[in-house]
Each structure stands twice: as C-alpha cells, then as structure tokens.
Structure 1
Amino acid sequence: MSIPVFLPTCALVRTMEGLAFYHQCALSAFLLCLLQTHPAQSLASPVLQEEITPKDLMFRSIDYKNVLHWKPGKGIYNGKAVYFVQHKIYGEKQWTNATHCLGITKMSCDLSQETSDRREFYYARVQAALSGVHSPWVLSQRFVPQWETFFSPPKVKLAAKERSILVHLRPPHSPYRRRKGGWISMKKLHKFNYRIYVSHGNITMEKHVFQGSVSKVLIVNLRPRMTYCVQAEATIELYSRTSKRSRKICISL
C-alpha cells in the first residue's frame, strides 16, 4: 500500500533568492517521490536481504537424477521470492547459469544433465530476489555423483511354472538418453549383483544371491498349491552400496 506524500508547492519567482528556493524545493519533491516508489530499497534492503536468503542447500541423488534442494529464508516472505541457480566444476573460475532454473519459485532444481560426469566434483549456488532486492549467493557442499547417489531396487515380474517361479529383473534407468532417445539403463553404468528373497506367509524361506547382470532367475523346488512372495535388491560391490528391497510381489503355484 502506498504511503501518501504531500509535495511542497514550488512557486516560480524571478529573484535570485526565490530561484534558489525553487531549486531546493524541487529537489525535496524528487527525493520524496523516490522514497515512495522504492521503499524496500531505500529503507530495508539489508533486512530484506537477510530475510530472503536461502539456506540448507543439499543435493539429493537417486540413480544419478541429481536434484539440488534448498529451504527459504526465515522471514515472512516465504513463497514470494524467486530463485536463481548456478553451477560449476571444482577448479573452474566462472559460474554457469542453470537456464531452466532462473527466476523460479520452487525450491529445487534438477541438475542431472549439468552434473552428468559421475566422477567429477561439482558445486552449485542459489540466490533469492524479491522487490528488486537480491540476497547473497549461498554455496552448496561439494557433490560427487558416484559417491552420493542412491540406487533404486530392480523392478520384479513373476511367472508361475511347475513347482518353480521365473523371476524377471529389470534395473532402473538413468536420467541419460541414447542418441536415438531411449533411456540408458543403470546396468550400462554399473555391474549389479542381486539378492532375491522368497517368502511364504510372514517367513522368509530362502535368499538367493546372483552375480552379474542377470535378467531372469528360476526359483525351483517349490511346493505346489502354495502362494510365494518375492522381493529383490541390487548391490554394487565397488561402492559397498545396496538398494532398498523391491515391493513384495506374490504368486500362487
């Protein structure tokens, strides 16, 4: 809401004293107008900068989908600021704009393509803006995708055979595409091992470990007219990392 401003009346007079008064009067009117039209910048820019400054920058990465997240400032302006994101590789002097994350209102930015070298060291930074006032840039921690990404469990599909179950395993895909447009599977980037858990009721009966990039596994010597449930998880020995278990899928023989 605008603050009403009463401007001094500046009458033009012909004397030297009157001309000096006229100039002083006009300057006062200009300054009052400036104060009215730019109140945030004139009165509260440092306070507003502090209020809108983003905090708690963090990369979250699943299957190399690398998304930068942050929290808003501490003031009453939450949800009103816009954000600008830049990134760079460790050692570079210049920052690069994330062109799809300039002037955004959400508090996250997908930087998967900008951080696609899994072994590289990356940094990002975020700046907030509101009413022509810009916060300082806030820097993220160092981010190395291959060290920090988590892996999704494989997708599982079952087919019943005579006293056996055929388990189809499909690893998740990465955020990267082939030249023809298809998604690149995670098994092209890493060598996965699989653990398959077979249960009946609430009891886990067997755990099978399979080395290498298998896509089909046959679980044999099962009892007929029984219902079995299967879960799977993926492991990468190089990084000593294991995915969560897949959701439980059941089938009757």
Structure 2
Amino acid sequence: MRGITLSSLCLLMHLLLDEITTILVLEKQVLQDLIKPRKVEFHSLNFNSTLHWQPGRARGARDTVYFVQYKVYGQSTWQNKDDCWGIQNHVCDLTNETSDIQEPYYGRVKATSTGIYSDWSVSCRFTPWQETMIGPPTVTVVHSNKSITLKLRAPRSPYRRKTGSKIPMTKYYDLLYKVFIINNLLDEQHRVLVYEGKDKVIKIEGLRPGVSYCIVAKTYVPMLDHSSAYSSKKCTVLQ
C-alpha cells in the first residue's frame, strides 16, 4: 500500500477546512434565522404609537437583545431609536418619532444573541392618522329625579398645546359620540342606543325612579368608519 504523499495530505486538509467552514456558515445562517424577530407591527391608540414584535423561533435564547430603527416612507436612511437600542423588551415607543400623523412610516427590528446578528425584520407601512385607534370618551354622570345628565370628554392625544395641555382628538377628527344605556333589570348585554351626535352634554329623560341604570359610550369617526371600544360603565340609581 502506497503512503500518502504530502500533496495529497495538503489537499485533504483543504477539503476538510472547506467543509468545516461550510458547516460553520450554515450554522450561523440557521442561528440568524432562529433569532430573527417576527410579526413586527405598529399598535396605536390616540396617536400613542408603539412598535411591537415577537421573538424568533429560538425562544429559549434569554440573552437576546434587540435594535430598533424607523424611517418615513420614501426616505433612504433609517434612524436609530436610541432608547430601543440593545433592549430585551419586545416593544418600543415611537410616539414622538411618528408625530407627523399624515406621514407613512416603517419600523424595523433586528436581534443579536451569542455574538450572532439576525437580519432586519420590517413592519408594514403605518400612517398614524389612518390607523390609530380612537379611545372612548370619559363619561361623567349627574342624575336627578327622572333623568340623567351626561358630560362627555373626548380622548386626548399625547401631543401638547403651547400652554402644556394635551390636544383632544377632536382637533384631528370629526368625532361623533354614541351613548348607550343599560337597564340593570334586564340582561347586562341589552344596551340601548340613546344618543348619537357631537354634543358634549346630554340629558336622558323619562327614566324610572328606583331603577339602576348604567351608561357606556363610544367615539366614532365617520370618515374612516372607526369605532372605539366602550367606555367604562357609569352606574346610578334614580331616586
């Protein structure tokens, strides 16, 4: 049997090194894919806009940290969000960065774990004015003998006037209020629409003394066909 020549040994070593390199590259690609953030999307309520994501398939990687960038649609340069650079949370507040509510934005997130960096995961386009959810109004109830007077207060945005007060959502939208009354002698789900309009003070008459009534309300944006969740219940018993 002939011995292995030096040239054959060198060739074998090169082939082995190439194979090891290929394996390492493939392992790195697998790890990058396993930690890549998923389902990157904006959530927004009254223009309080946050970017959310889910961890990659390697959920057990507790040392994973995330990096967030954003940009306006059409721009070529992404901006770092300093407060969300190297964080372990799965949410990043971009309210201030999306304050031009008519502009469309993108957000993106990448992850790193054990020295491996994933590719970026990009959100869908997000336009605050079109996509933010409107919160319900605040309801104050004042009752008399056979009537209830309601005072409705529109939800506030996070943005402020020069005086420091928060700007109401009525500044940005033509809002309607929908008011529902619940007679507690009936089924809890039996809500009756008693008012729809723009008035901030509403009087509901013809109610029965001694009966417990609860009020809930919604805001509605006709132009976008957006409706808020119900407000918290305000209940009273007429004397």
1:96-152 deviation digits (Å, cap 9, x = unpaired): 111111011001111111112222111111111123321111111111112222111
Q: Which residue of 2 aligns with 1:139?
A: 122
**Pair member with larger Rg:** 1
Contact 2:149 2:202 in 1 (8 A): yes
Q: Which residue of 2 aligns with 1:22?
A: none
1:134-173 deviation digits (Å, cap 9, x = unpaired): 1111111111112222111112121111311111112221
Residue 196 of structure 1, aligned match among 143, 168, 179: 179
Deviation at 1:94, TM superposition (A): 0.6
**Alpha carbons of structure 1 residues 206 and 105: separation in structure 2 relative to 1, 3 Å:** closer
Alpha-carbon distance in structure 2 between the residues aligned to 1:146 and 1:59: 13
Contact 1:53 1:127 in 2 (8 A): yes
Deviation at 1:42, TM superposition (A): 8.8
Contact 1:84 1:103 in 2 (8 A): yes
Residues 1:230 and 2:191 aligned together = no
1:192-212 deviation digits (Å, cap 9, x = unpaired): 111111221225574223322
Q: Which residue of 2 aligns with 1:3?
A: none
Alpha-carbon distance in structure 2 between the residues aligned to 1:148 and 1:224: 43
Alpha-carbon distance in structure 2 between the residues aligned to 1:47 and 1:208: 59
**Alpha carbons of structure 1 residues 133 and 117: separation in structure 2 relative to 1, 3 Å:** same
Alpha-carbon distance in structure 2 between the residues aligned to 1:222 and 1:58: 46
Percent of residue pairs identical: 37
User: Bigger shift: 103-112 or 154-163?
Assistant: 154-163
Q: Which residue of 1 aligns with 2:52?
A: 69
- Scaled by the length of structure 1, the TM-score of the pair is 0.77
RMSD of aligned alpha carbons? 2.1
**Alpha carbons of structure 1 residues 210 and 178: separation in structure 2 relative to 1, 3 Å:** same
Deviation at 1:181, TM superposition (A): 3.0
Number of equivalences: 212
Q: Which residue of 1 aligns with 2:233?
A: 248
Q: Which residue of 2 aligns with 1:107?
A: 90
Contact 2:136 2:218 in 1 (8 A): yes
Any stretches of 5+ residues in structure 1 without a counterpart? 1-40
User: Bigger shift: 45-54 or 100-109?
Assistant: 45-54
Contact 2:61 2:113 in 1 (8 A): no
Residues 1:162 and 2:145 aligned together = yes
1:10-67 deviation digits (Å, cap 9, x = unpaired): xxxxxxxxxxxxxxxxxxxxxxxxxxxxxxx999533332221111111111111111
**Alpha carbons of structure 1 residues 42 and 207: separation in structure 2 relative to 1, 3 Å:** closer
Residues 1:208 and 2:194 aligned together = yes
Contact 2:66 2:110 in 1 (8 A): yes
- Scaled by the length of structure 2, the TM-score of the pair is 0.81
Contact 1:61 1:150 in 2 (8 A): yes
Alpha-carbon distance in structure 1 between the residues aligned to 2:141 and 2:173: 24
Greater relative CO (CA pairs within 8 A, separation 6+): 2
